[in-house]
Structure 1
Amino acid sequence: MPKKLIKARILHFIDQNDTQASNYEYFPEGGLLIDDGIIEQCGSLSSILPMMSEEVSIIDYSDQLIIPGFIDTHLHYPQIDVIASPGKNLLDWLERFTFPSEAKYQHRDWSLQSSEFFLEELLRNGTTSALVFGTVHSESADALFTTAFERNFRLLTGKVAMDRNCPDYLQDTPESSYEDALELINKWHLKGRLQYAITPRFAITSSEAQLEKMAELARLYPEMVIQTHLAENVDEVAWMKELFPKHRSYLDVYDQYGLLRPNSVYAHCIYLDELDIARLQTTKSSIAFCPTSNLFLGSGLMNLQHYTSQQIQVALATDIGGGTSFSMLKTMGRAYEVAHLRGDVLSAFDLFYLATLAGAKALGIDRSVGNFIPGKEADFIVLDLKATPLMERRIGICQSLEEELFVALILGDDRNIQATYLMGEKKYQRQ
């Protein structure tokens, strides 16, 4: 393919520092030079143009803002049909809505149709990488891998392990969860831009025998991502204590089975004590912050500032379908509100960092995506910050880049995504 030069305003984050305002690069008249899906150069247009050859194809987004694609670190593709279902709390919501819906994913045709819709929604909302839950059925993970491979989407997913405290029609066994995972790993792991993720749903729905099987997988694949839920809801935490009376805490259950390590991602983490927090930091485990689902299900307000002050890697997640939107812009807005309710104020730079490079770091894919460092894959989105009449009016009086970004995360949604690119190829165009 010929080289491409993308002309636009360009923003990306370089690394995590104490002050987010000091770790980004912004080019008001920028250029992104792409060769065969890989970033060759990112910088000011004036520095790139003199080195260009005639063979370069120029794509002009000069009036728009280009940023790295959003990275969603926790969501459930089988829950697209239960989004906006009014459960009393997490456990009630799972029993009444989620589990019955997930039963359909034993059928490959249903899983394929749903995975196609799911990935199109991600692209429409500017998400280019995601860590995703399937169901207990191998068919669900296989279908999602198939669909993602066809689109060259960077996907991490796995078959859910769940052998107790759920309907009979959703239960596997310790042995089948292990064997099914191995089969999927052999078929899909590291094929294209795909990775398998070890996926116990949460400690409550796995017996000790099954957790040991997940630990065996983790030992067999020491670099593989692990995903699960942790300390989301008060009733959930109380139930965990009944099921695991010998363990000090919810986190300690996972710790004793060797499931804390770099590239392990724990969703929610609202109710942790200081010993838990210290252990997350020591093991370099990550947290997926899910503000829309935590608000919608009344689970609680995660203490983002405390975790980041302890050098724990935190990234943003929509948590569809307990979460209420595929839009990472809207999710950033809810994250701002959650922090504000706790007495903290996040900057727009903090929030865009959480939705891009922080996600890549949490998933261990920051060597490939997350910013525009030369050599990385050219996943990016074109943001139209004036997509609605209200936004156009408000943006028109902004005095800084940060103010524009803040308007985008408070007022923005899928309408602001003008285009989504995967490895330099346009996969979505707003109509």
Structure 2
Amino acid sequence: MEINNNQLLRFTTAGSVDDGKSTLIGRLLYDSKSIFEDQLEAIENTSLKKGHESVDLALFTDGLRDEREQGITIDVAYRYFTTPKRKFIIADTPGHIQYTRNMVTGASTANAAIILIDARHGVIEQTKRHSFIASLLQIPHLVICINKMDLVDFQEDIYDSIVKQYQDFSSKLLVKDVRFIPISALLGDNVVNRSENMPWYGGAPLLHTLETIHISSDFNSVDARFPVQTVLRPQREGFIDYRGYAGRIASGIFRPGDDVTVMPSGFTSKVKTVEGPKGELEEAYAPMSISMTLEDDIDVGRGDMIVRSNNKPEPVQDLEVMLCWMNNSPAKPRARYTIRHTTNEQTAMIKEVIYKIDIETLGRNMEDKEISMNDICKVRIRTTRPLMIDSYRENRSTGNLILIDESTNETVAAGMIYG
């Protein structure tokens, strides 16, 4: 299969504390020669000061002083690198239970997730938590890296037992593609180069796996959704009667001549022009940023959604949503929050907590209705005006939302619409 070297793969890393996430990313950057000389020199000097005999690969991602002092990663660290086959954005997320919200943030736009398992410990609660979140966020590809194989003498039977342990657990999850790779991030085995210490492993190293994962089918090309961000009315010669609608296509394809409906008003028209930064386009698709003009002069504003008339989302005010609570303060019963869905912003209220997820068992706790930080729960939400939604399973772009505290303007929860 031919790989488009301009194609961008976003992936997140997750695992328990000290599973080696930062070291793995450092190894990927180091062995793929994606480090600038001045960066490498600075890390080498820092490593010497810390008393390390060789380069401390974790320092390539742990750039914050608090992280270095504590020896852990405490926030989502984004890194970018390119190989001849593909471009990458990495979101390195922390492993502590109290930072589950950070993984949700890092994984929300990911095409793939790397979940690290310490070969000495096998599948633990954090492995299950991160895998469940990856499943909840509908990340299409999971790469399970069983790390620190050097500390278990590269034994195949230990690797096989952890693979079986994970498969028994993950059979309850909805994940399209799960792959397993035995690695040593510290020594570089099966990260960029194939390991000589594990000849029994017949699969590809991690970097080759990331370079060849097929991601074009991960985008929804069927449901044409264009949330309007702003209305363009330039007041200059040649543009007196111009009225365009600018934004980013959430999903699907738009072409001049398409029959479209503006939601939630229901007004119908045809697409007159589709324009990008370099002029008019014959077609535009997600996630392109464009401006669009319509044949008819109808009332369209920010928060409206232009869709194909033969494929409209359902406008609803009562939603069933899977929430990850991200705020230190617990949820307030029937309190008012600002809800943001695509470009639509309005007031909403949590009417009911249906159940909370027990991450250890993946069971539903129907009794505990208190929502605290890092809790994952299913709730009913009522909005003041209709939202144009799709199920998150069908369309990640129009199936997600966030809740914001009206008094502090803090994001308190991220949600996936499943009802």
- Fold equivalence (TM over 0.5): no
- Compare CA radii of gyration and give the structure with the larger one: 2
TM range (shorter): 0.3 to 0.5
Q: Which has the higher contact order (CA 8 A, sep 6+)?
A: 1
The structure in which a higher percent of residues are helix is 1
The structure in which a higher percent of residues are strand is 2
TM-score (norm 2): 0.32
